[in-house]
Amino acid sequence: MDSPIVELWKLDDLLVPDIRVETLGRPALDRAGKFDNPAYPDEFIAGRLALLRFAASLLEVDSARLVPDYRCPQCGPGQDHGRPGFMLDGVPAPLALSASRASGWVLLAAVVHPTDGLRLGVDLESVDRVGFGGFDDVALTSNEQRFLASVPEREQTRQRARLWARKEAWLKMTGEGLRHDPAQLDVLDIKGLRDITPTKLPDGLVAALALG
């Protein structure tokens, strides 16, 4: 049975002097050099290093044997984005992977030796990111808006972020991303989609995992 392994890593712990970032591959390094915010490249690189180390630990291999292999459903293989994966000694590593960064943390998820066609998506969100005016109209279905109105006001911001994390996780899993209008995707009750237990997360963060 496919059972996801989920871990939360602190990004600050990843960037140490003896790490060779060249192991991340040219597409990732090129992307890191294009961020406008000076803090983003370090966070991006740390997140990619976390995923590399995570994959190596699950497979019990030296990370030097893994070559990043990101594949976008729209753009194909060899990308700096899309579904993460690795080649192990020239063949696809037996992992389904997903990762998400927020507020100095990276959430990592994997299924080792997944069944054929298994897809995985995970998302980590800061509650503060969804508190702007007009969010509900562009991101939530009418059913989700009614649900949000039914909970105490003090809980609404967190519930709003929880719904958004569920949407992001699901759309990562399907490979559609935000090409699918999130306001047309109701995530209150979808088989294969679940919240990450709040007690496993720092204050101010929510997360979700989709498997299918």
DSSP 145-207: HHHHHHS-HHHHHHHHHHHHHHHHHHHHHHT-GGGS-GGG---SS-TTEEEPPGGGS-TTEEE
Give which of 63, 37, 69, 33 is closest to 50, Cα–Cα: 63
pLDDT at residue number 129 = 86
The pLDDT of residue 25: 73
Per-residue pLDDT tens digits for 76-121: 676 667 899 999 999 999 999 999 999 999 999 999 999 999 999 9
What phi and psi values does residue 84 have, to the nearest 5 degrees?
Answer: -75, 150
Closest alpha carbon to 53 in 64, 43, 42, 44? 64
Report which of 71, 28, 73 is spatially closest to residue 47, judged by C-alpha positions.
Answer: 28
- The 10s digit of each residue's pLDDT in 41-86 is 888 888 999 999 999 999 999 999 999 998 887 776 766 678 999 9
Please provide the average confidence, as pLDDT, over all residues in the chain.
89
- Give the SS3 label for residue 6: strand
Is the per-residue pLDDT at 18 higher than 70? no
Distances (CA, A) of 29 to 14, 24, 34, 52: 16, 7, 9, 14
Cβ 102 vs Cβ 125: under 8 Å: yes
Predicted confidence (pLDDT) at residue 22 exceeds the cutoff of 70: no
What average pLDDT does range 170-189 have in this prediction? 92
Task: Tell whether the model's pLDDT for residue 161 goes beyond 80.
Answer: yes
CB 165 within 8 A of CB 123: yes
Per-residue pLDDT, 21: 62
More confident position, 5 or 13? 5
Q: Which two tokens stand for residue 86?
A: 């690795």
Query: What would you report as the CA-atom Rg of the chain, rounded to the nearest whole angstrom?
Result: 17
Cβ-in-10-Å burial (0-12, 13-18, 19+) of 80 comes to buried
Structure tokens at 150: 């039914």
Tell me, what's the pLDDT at 1? 59
Q: Which residue(s) pair with 113 in the sheet?
A: none
